[in-house]
A = this chain, B = another copy of it.
Amino acid sequence: MQRYFVDPDAVKGNSITITGDDVKHIGKVMRMSSGDKVICCDSTGRSALCEIEEVSKEDVTCTVVEWMDENTELPVNVTIVQGLPKSDKLELVVQKGTELGASCFYPFKAARSVVKWDRSKSEKKLDRLRKIAKEAAEQSHRTAIPEVEAPLSLQEVIDMEPEYDLKLVAYEEEAKQGESSNLSQALHQANRGQRVLLVIGPEGGLTEEEISDLTDAGFLLCGLGPRILRTETAALYFLAAVSYHFELMR
């Protein structure tokens, strides 16, 4: 069944009003009308099976048939800090990372990031990434849309440290040297509900200075297996490992 995210204030008791681009999607693309059913998620994690009352040009009004007990969010809250990569790789990270359960994405202006975002382009790029996150969240049956935030400097990444229970850095040199247990040990020590941050370098990796600044600030280096992953693959490996660890292993 088709799923749509709505703002929490679109929900008034048992009535939900869908606005924005989704109105066109419901009316023109899906050709739905009064009596058809959709699932509405209020992006705080609540979702409801709804029946459409009326489709107008401006909005779609629905009545809640039942509130659903869905549990598709990762048991830990994962923030991906992705060194700004080339071309459209950040779109891949946000799309696949959303499917795999990430809660938040920050692009990171790393020393070796070739791509720079100027202020005028930045809002446009963020809008596009947020749209990708919303669509991927709907498609993957998530009940929350991940946040996509403006790019951070190294110092801003380090300043976020107190907000997280587990602070990790994906570091390929560790992988080359055969480091293979930091990630597993860290996940074993983490508890459900905790906040996890992973920093990933851009193409070419993090510099020695970035690594030492991060470890000085309490970040833990970890390898993601013995193969050298492209920058855009690291987040996907990590999120799948977190899911396997917390959702599938018994």
Contacts and interface: CB of A to CB of B under 8 A. Distances in A.
A25 interface: no
Contact of A241 (B72, B176, B227, B240): B240
A167 interface: no
Question: Which among A139, A227, A229 has the highest number of chain B CB atoms within 10 Å?
Answer: A227
Contact of A96 (B71, B184, B236): B236
B142 A184 contact: no
Contacts of A248: 180-181, 183-184, 223-225, 241
Interface size classification for chain A:
35 or more
A33 interface: no
Interface in A113-165: 139-142
A99 B140 contact: no
Q: How many copies does the complex hold?
A: 2
A227 B100 contact: yes
A227 B72 contact: yes
A29 B62 CA distance: 60
A244 interface: yes
A70 to B, nearest CB: 8
Nearest to A92: B92
A228 B184 contact: no
A34 to B, nearest CB: 27
A193 to B, nearest CB: 16
Contacts of A185: 250
Contacts of A77: none
A176 B249 CA distance: 17
Contacts of A176: 141
Contact of A225 (B183, B227, B228, B243): B243
Contact of A71 (B183, B226, B228): B226
Interface of A: 71-72, 96, 99-101, 139-142, 176, 180-181, 183-185, 223-230, 233, 236-238, 240-241, 243-245, 247-250
Q: Which 5 A-B pairs have the closest CB atoms?
A: A240-B240, A241-B244, A140-B227, A237-B240, A225-B243
